Copies of this chain bind each other. A is one copy, B any other.
Amino acid sequence: MAREARDDQANRILYVQTSGAEVPERSATVFFLAAAAAAMDVEVGIYFTQFGPTLLKKGVPEQLRIKKGSLGATLSHFIDQARDLGVRLYVCQPSLDLNDLKMEDLIEGVEMIGGAAFNSLALDADQVICF
- Chain A contact residues, CB within 8 Å of chain B: 11, 13, 16, 18, 25-26, 28-29, 32-33, 35-37, 39-40, 42, 49-51, 66-67, 94-95, 97-98, 114-116, 118-120, 122-123, 125-131
Inter-subunit contact A36/B129 (CB<8 Å): no
Known: A36-B119, A118-B36, A119-B13. A67 touches B98 (CB 8 A): yes
Inter-subunit contact B42/A131 (CB<8 Å): no
Inter-subunit contact B115/A33 (CB<8 Å): yes
The distance from the CB of A52 to the nearest CB of chain B, in whole angstroms, is: 10
Inter-subunit contact B129/A127 (CB<8 Å): no
How far is B26's CA from A123's CA once the two chains are assembled, in angstroms? 22
